[in-house]
Structure 1
Amino acid sequence: MSFRPHNSPPVSSEGALHLVFRRDQLVTDLRATQLLLPREQMQRAGWQVLREQFLGYWQERPCFAVEIDETAELDPMRFQQGNLYQLLGRGDESLFALAGRASQLLAWERDHQYCGRCGEGMVLDRQERAMRCLPCHTVNYPRINPCIIVLVTRGEQMLLARHANFRGNMYSTLAGFIEAGESAEETLRREVREEVGIEVGRLRYFGSQSWPFPSQLMLGFFADYAGGDIVCEPAEIADAGWFHYRELPRTPTPASIAGQLIRHYIQELTQE
């Protein structure tokens, strides 16, 4: 495993590597083959560091997430910046996961500068992953938003949808946030009913994926079609339909759990 997570920063930062963000944009070196920047390069660039989170060890070297000031100048001949979507499906998946972890932790610290209970400033705990309010003792941990994502199937067909808020012609699986008091299974049935108007029967858990857009944990399922006609909720779904596995529209990359669900089901069908 290339990455070993750890909360407590090392005594020495010698040889440390950094994932550098300017707000929510990842800064990378055009001349390098990896996303991580050495500490010495950070220091030479003279960027003002706003916040820093220790992530753990990448290939046994200390690794930090760093946010630099938005006014920091980037040499266009040496550095570029872009969002994490541009990394999806390209290169090392574990490095993409690490970049997602870095982005989420920096956003969490940035969004919890003040206590939601008493309004006082919060401080970063260096021994555990927490923001603490010293006056009223409120503690905030990094927030994870659990979601379900489901591939509804009917024999050799799968239900795919084009989401109203996404540009382009990509069709994907259905997904939704788990609400307070709900189980994942209850959420799945509710979301499918609300988004496309059908009912599902047997459910099968597939797996999970951390999804840093911005801080979701996707719980993947297969669901058998049980009844009803497709009626799209227009605020959520632009179009939806049943597609035979040999005649699929454009679908997500296998780097996403949506793409993995689709490809896994095709493998099941073709191996029978």
Structure 2
Amino acid sequence: MIKHSISLTPNQHGLWFVVNRGRIWVNAARQIPQGMLSALTLSAEPEQICRLGELAGQDAYLLVNHDHIADENDWVSPRDLLSEGEQIFYLAARAVQVALFLQTHRFCGQCGSAMSLVSWELAALCNKCGHRCYPRIAPCVLVGIIKDKQILLARSSRHRKGFFSILAGFVESAETLEQAAAREVKEEVGVEITNLRYVGSQPWPFPHSLMAGFIADYAGGDIVCQPQEIEEAHWFDLASLPEVPPRQTLSGQIIHQLQQIAGK
């Protein structure tokens, strides 16, 4: 089993991201707890501890806890923390992703021996065969497609009726981000795009994605939804949109940016 990367004293001060099965523990004020480690009311000792970074000069730590969750209301997903600010969300995303890495790399995938954490970087090392593993990151592209003052939005089979977003898909092996964007759009809705422009990126810990956002112009083709993937897709006026992702998400930021462009 993976050993602790660090050990802390009960008087250690920090910002504490306690993770259990992809959920993060929050205090009575619905915030990430901070202060002394001894002040945390955990019913069991954390199985792994890692330093995540810092916020406002305060060290942030991951505590992996596998105890039974007595009250689900005390636990939130990283997405629930988007409203707390970008830096809190990024640390929460990192905490959940690192916890998953620790859970899935307790033993070597090459020889089956126990793994240990490397002290100078975030990696798991097999001391028997030397196999080294790093946290997995799965790149994903988001594409906001515009035609005049309209945007192409789709609803996947996983989303409730009335909720639409821009198109998204995972990058395949030996594929560039640009190639993935064009392929995913063609596969999911059957249209061609051109003039692809990079907007930005955002980590998305569900469970370990990194989203790269683009804007593209419509180049041709009729909407044909991919079976089992896209329930419906339409062109919407940017001045009159259905329910879309919030502004804190990268997809919401792309939609808002296109609205600003259309309004000029």
In the superposition, the TM-score normalised over structure 1's length comes to 0.89
Q: Which residue of 2 aligns with 1:23?
A: 21
Aligned length: 258
1:11, 1:163 → 2: CA distance?
A: 45
Change (3 A) 1:72 1:244: closer
1:33, 1:181 → 2: CA distance?
A: 42
| Identity in percent | 36
Q: Which residue of 1 aligns with 2:68?
A: 71
Q: Once the two structures are superposed, what CA deviation does each residue of 1:167-195 show, in whole Å capped at 9, x if it has no partner? A: 34210010111111111111111100100
Gaps of 5+ in 1: 1-7
Q: Which residue of 2 aligns with 1:248?
A: 241
1:92, 1:188 → 2: CA distance?
A: 28
1:25, 1:245 → 2: CA distance?
A: 35
Change (3 A) 1:72 1:167: closer
How far is 1:86 from its partner? Answer: 2.5
Q: Once the two structures are superposed, what CA deviation does each residue of 1:57-107 show, in whole Å capped at 9, x if it has no partner? A: 222222111111233656x9xx7112223233x222211111111110111
Asked whether the 8 Å contact 1:20–1:66 carries over to 2, the reply is yes
Please point out which of 52, 62, 65 is paired with 2:49: 52
Gaps of 5+ in 2: none
Please point out which of 113, 116, 120 is paired with 1:123: 116
Q: Residue 262 of structure 1 aligns to a residue in which SS?
A: helix
Query: RMSD of the TM alignment (CA)?
Result: 2.0
Q: Which residue of 1 aligns with 2:261?
A: 268
Amino acid at match of 1:14: Q
Q: Residue 71 of structure 1 aligns to a residue in which SS?
A: coil
Asked whether the 8 Å contact 1:29–1:37 carries over to 2, the reply is no
Q: Residue 128 of structure 1 aligns to a residue in which SS?
A: coil
User: Which consecutive aligned stretches of 4+ in structure 1 deviate over 3 angstroms post-superposition?
Assistant: 8-13
Amino acid at match of 1:160: L
Asked whether the 8 Å contact 1:28–1:37 carries over to 2, the reply is no
Amino acid at match of 2:75: Q
1:72, 1:151 → 2: CA distance?
A: 39
Amino acid at match of 1:192: V
Q: Residue 179 of structure 1 aligns to a residue in which SS?
A: coil
Amino acid at match of 1:65: L
1:230, 1:255 → 2: CA distance?
A: 28
How far is 1:26 from its partner? Answer: 1.1
Please point out which of 58, 76, 82 is paired with 2:76: 82
2:144, 2:33 → 1: CA distance?
A: 35
2:139, 2:78 → 1: CA distance?
A: 20
Q: Which residue of 2 aligns with 1:3?
A: none
Q: Residue 52 of structure 1 aligns to a residue in which SS?
A: strand
